[in-house]
Structure 1
């Protein structure tokens, strides 16, 4: 092997290692979890992953269609199952329809083949954790696959680099032997640093290229990691009581404001006291499915209720003997220097809970939604006035982007008296009108929603 060939191979190995080490982590995070978000936005209300619910379990669904010889037809089934059944080309479609007592499945024409593949991949990699009594999902998403590729690139680079140095060592030894046989003066042996300096001097362009790549790759890695600080999308803390939102808010259609009763009156949405829970659970001790008895027993203990006596435990003075209060772990946390008022957004602004919290009816424990999940809900909830956003949820960019896009109904006929008064005051300030967009739309930003003191006073 000639020296310049070995040198080029070494450079290729080094660059491969650099790119493997400093591959942009955000690009992997952006692609990861697509199936999880799509499942929660489209499927979770009717399907569970590992067991039947309103519809069949999704885990293994793709394989079941493949076993029936109709692997490609599963996409048509999801997008428009009625059309597939009507075409007569799918025996499995008709069999599933009859198995589930001819229950009509929603058509998902907006889902692409790639979307469906992501959902099914997510379902097939589901893992059940019985340790905390809750179902969790651990998915080998695109980020993990890309992480695996990164590791293999790194290993390959190290191996090739080892081969290069070994080849250089062999070449040096052969050159030494050849020179000794010719009786040539080999001169004084140079140190490794001297050899490296000589190589950099002789190949300054290659050395400069390597230096630039390493510096910029390192800076990109640092900046992208800094951009993830304070971003907690898809965060779901554990709770003492495994409260199921999909049962209460979903199946039973309990209004969010029944439990979070200060959402229209305070900056905080509020958490229900045990007494609020006991309004129902003094009589409801298990769910319709016969589950939840252990969790409800925790409420009874905290409230001092004895279901055997069908009443509260009292001391000799007639006071209820309560247990330790239930401590809920907060899911949505804003920094201390940020002011946010639920009353301002929900009562005055008329913002629907789904804009910030996603489709809570599909959740078990409370969790932080993701921007992609919420955007996926817009098409099917056009009456709620949801705004499509791009920044990570609960970040400053997310807030100011919403303030820039959210339109306000201002005028003498506005549904909210607050904005009627805003209209009356604007009429007295013609200088303010020049800032209103030419299309006549007034956004939160144009009413001061970008003033720093609104959130950081």
Structure 2
């Protein structure tokens, strides 16, 4: 009876470990994606590729015209990331859900193809993206309470170490399975040599039943815990998205194209949004500003007569009625934001917050505009002190620090700056 119980326990252990083994094999296969090089030579070469081809639209740890790049190979496989860099149009056309959603998030902004980049160029570029210009650990710790820039470098174990750890676990588990198999075999042979009843012989000779593992209390508890954790994470993520209007792009009463006016004709944002350098609000232009041009420009594309959209401007002026534009960017009343402080004093480009506005046919909210997003910007943005005597004393006081003077160093993280 003792041998019989021992055999039962060993068989159940063998079955459970076998299931775990195949689960780990699957995890290892997933993690065994080619790793990104981390040598200084690769990073330096990758920085050259980045500066020549990517710097205009991307930053490593924060959104710019395009998404932040750090962690790209954690979000997608290395081969897929390479394919997207070389020909983003083809990847999006293939129906890949991640890059299709990214394409929509950035207002259908098309990234140029880089077919001319060799595989070595791409490997070096990814090395720089993942390991180049790392943020100082102390500064990274200081940002723990804020929102991490989208696509920014995540914490935790580097992917290559995770692959090694999983490989070691698989090897150890395989050895345990071999040992348990040998024990079962020896024990079975030994028991069969004893004078056993027919019932006992039938029991000893029975095959392993892996279905018992899936019906066991331990397996059910583990699966239930994973499901509960997944549901909880989904719920928390949903709560964090409450009030976030990123991607909101409503239809306007007049189909005004920023891609045409700010992009093709290079009309400065300040021409229409007159308050952006002198006041809290940027101001929505009145129909009179539109008429400065459209008194003479009455059609689009060489068509005869006044185009329907331009006619709406004329109707507003004739009826002395304002155009009822739909507001896109709207901070909560509890938050104070001053455009002049950021644009005129800080020298911040409109695209920093509003994205590639010069390429948008329909304006949508590009950034999250959450508190964490603003705080993260204050932590990373250097103060434009050059030529501004107001900051001379602050620069002098900060000269002992090795880091550049950031917005956070001049009160950019104080609650009363935005909430009072």
TM-score, length of structure 2 as denominator length: 0.50
Q: d(CA) in 1 for partners of 2:366 and 2:349?
A: 14
Say if 1:249 and 1:256, in contact at 8 Å, map to a contact too. yes
Say if 1:79 and 1:110, in contact at 8 Å, map to a contact too. no
Gaps of 5+ in 2: 1-11, 20-74, 76-95, 125-211
What is the correspondence of 1:382-393 to structure 2 with a 5 Å cutoff? 393=368
The partner residue of 1:332 within 329, 351, 363 is 329
Q: Compared with structure 1, are the counterparts of its residues 437 and 403 closer, same or farther at alpha carbon in structure 2 (3 Å cutoff)?
A: farther
Alignment correspondent of 1:101: none
Pair 1:352-2:366 in alignment: no
Alignment correspondent of 2:417: 454
Q: Alpha-carbon deviation of 1:280?
A: 1.1
Say if 2:249 and 2:363, in contact at 8 Å, map to a contact too. yes
What is the correspondence of 1:222-261 to structure 2 with a 5 Å cutoff? 222-261=235-274
Alignment correspondent of 2:65: none
The partner residue of 1:205 within 218, 232, 243 is 218
SS in 1 for 2:290: helix
SS in 2 for 1:400: helix
Q: Alpha-carbon deviation of 1:33?
A: 1.9
Q: d(CA) in 1 for partners of 2:122 and 2:266?
A: 26
Query: C-alpha offsets along residues 243-301 of structure 1, whole Å, 9 cap, x if unaligned?
Result: 01111111111111110011001111111111111111112110245397000000001
The partner residue of 1:33 within 79, 87, 101 is 101
Q: Compared with structure 1, are the counterparts of its residues 360 and 207 closer, same or farther at alpha carbon in structure 2 (3 Å cutoff)?
A: closer
Provide the alpha-carbon RMSD of the alignment: 3.9
The partner residue of 2:308 within 279, 286, 294 is 294
Q: Alpha-carbon deviation of 1:355?
A: 0.8
Say if 1:267 and 1:340, in contact at 8 Å, map to a contact too. yes
Say if 1:79 and 1:111, in contact at 8 Å, map to a contact too. no
Say if 1:40 and 1:362, in contact at 8 Å, map to a contact too. no
The partner residue of 2:375 within 400, 411, 419 is 400
Say if 1:261 and 1:270, in contact at 8 Å, map to a contact too. yes
Say if 2:253 and 2:325, in contact at 8 Å, map to a contact too. yes
SS in 1 for 2:232: helix
The partner residue of 1:281 within 278, 294, 303 is 294
The partner residue of 1:415 within 384, 387, 391 is 387
**Pairs aligned (count):** 242
Alignment correspondent of 1:194: none
The partner residue of 1:216 within 225, 229, 232 is 229
Q: Compared with structure 1, are the counterparts of its residues 287 and 344 closer, same or farther at alpha carbon in structure 2 (3 Å cutoff)?
A: same
Pair 1:343-2:340 in alignment: yes
Say if 2:347 and 2:384, in contact at 8 Å, map to a contact too. no
Q: Alpha-carbon deviation of 1:208?
A: 2.5
Q: Alpha-carbon deviation of 1:37?
A: 5.8
Q: d(CA) in 1 for partners of 2:225 and 2:114?
A: 49
Alignment correspondent of 1:271: 284
SS in 2 for 1:272: coil
SS in 1 for 2:280: coil
Gaps of 5+ in 1: 12-26, 45-77, 85-108, 113-198, 305-321, 371-392
Pair 1:79-2:114 in alignment: yes
Query: C-alpha offsets along residues 163-190 of structure 1, whole Å, 9 cap, x if unaligned?
Result: xxxxxxxxxxxxxxxxxxxxxxxxxxxx
SS in 2 for 1:33: helix
Q: d(CA) in 1 for partners of 2:331 and 2:294?
A: 32
Query: C-alpha offsets along residues 168-225 of structure 1, whole Å, 9 cap, x if unaligned?
Result: xxxxxxxxxxxxxxxxxxxxxxxxxxxxxxx9xx943234224322322221121121
Q: d(CA) in 2 for partners of 1:407 and 1:220?
A: 35
Query: C-alpha offsets along residues 50-104 of structure 1, whole Å, 9 cap, x if unaligned?
Result: xxxxxxxxxxxxxxxxxxxxxxxxxxxx4267x99xxxxxxxxxxxxxxxxxxxx
